[in-house]
Amino acid sequence: MEAISMKCPNCMGDVVPFGNGVYGRCNSCDSVFKLKDDESGVTAGSEDFDEDDSDDEEVFDFEQFFRDAYDEYVDDESDLSDAYFADRLEDNSDKVSAAVKHFDIDKDDADEVYCVVDTTIFGSCKVGFAVTVSGVYMVDEDGDSAFVDWDDYDDCRIERNGGKLIIGGHPFIMSSDEAKIMARVMRDLQE
């Protein structure tokens, strides 16, 4: 990939391309931008899929998204204490069970949980959020339960203030390094 100097329109920080140059992220303010359209016209995993040509809706591969996010943002598994996704989630299936129970995840979504963030001190998973095929289920630090479907999530504000990650006004407290990683992952999910 050729080196191109890009500046963030929000803060004039340096923008670093990712996702084969399709997206860019500002190093200063963590804003994410779509830099160009994918010219190949082929989405991941769609080359051999011809069974239902009448369905024009693109299927999002959550599992691959979280594997890519893990590879991109997590240098060492010790960087994460509250977040479970990719291989780390597969190795901790009890987190999925606890999330289904405490976040009141629909039984239809219980088999398709791709990320669990447990912000409790002792790991009970009574506070945090889970990403499923239907949206994000959560119980925030104030004890408020919520569900945000993908249509609403696209317009949801994702903020980070030190060690606090705020998703649509719902706060979750974690280490500042982990909050930074999860803010990036959750913003990327909006793209």
**12, 28, 52 — which closes off a domain?**
52
Are 108 and 28 part of one and the same domain? no
Are 118 and 26 part of one and the same domain? no
pLDDT on residue 158: 95
Are 37 and 129 part of one and the same domain? no
136 contacts 153 by C-beta, under 8 angstroms? yes
14 contacts 7 by C-beta, under 8 angstroms? yes
pLDDT on residue 10: 66
pLDDT on residue 49: 40
pLDDT on residue 48: 42
pLDDT on residue 16: 78
Residues 6+ apart with CB under 8 A from 89: 66, 95, 96, 113, 114, 115, 116
Report pTM.
Answer: 0.69
Are 64 and 39 part of one and the same domain? no
Number of domains forming the structure of the chain: 2
DSSP label of 92? -
Are 43 and 72 part of one and the same domain? no
Q: Which domain holds residue 170?
A: 60-190
Residue showing tokens 């990683």: 181
The residues of the chain scoring below 50 in pLDDT are 1-2, 39-54
Are 71 and 16 part of one and the same domain? no
DSSP label of 134? S
Are 98 and 168 part of one and the same domain? yes
Are 105 and 24 part of one and the same domain? no
Are 88 and 173 part of one and the same domain? yes
Are 36 and 80 part of one and the same domain? no
Are 81 and 15 part of one and the same domain? no
Residues 6+ apart with CB under 8 A from 152: 135, 168
**32, 52, 72 — which closes off a domain?**
52
Are 182 and 164 part of one and the same domain? yes
Give CB contacts under 8 A, 24+ apart, made by 134-140.
134/106, 134/108, 134/109, 136/167, 137/99, 137/103, 137/104, 137/105, 137/109, 138/103, 138/167, 138/170, 138/172, 139/102, 139/103, 140/170, 140/171, 140/172
pLDDT on residue 75: 86
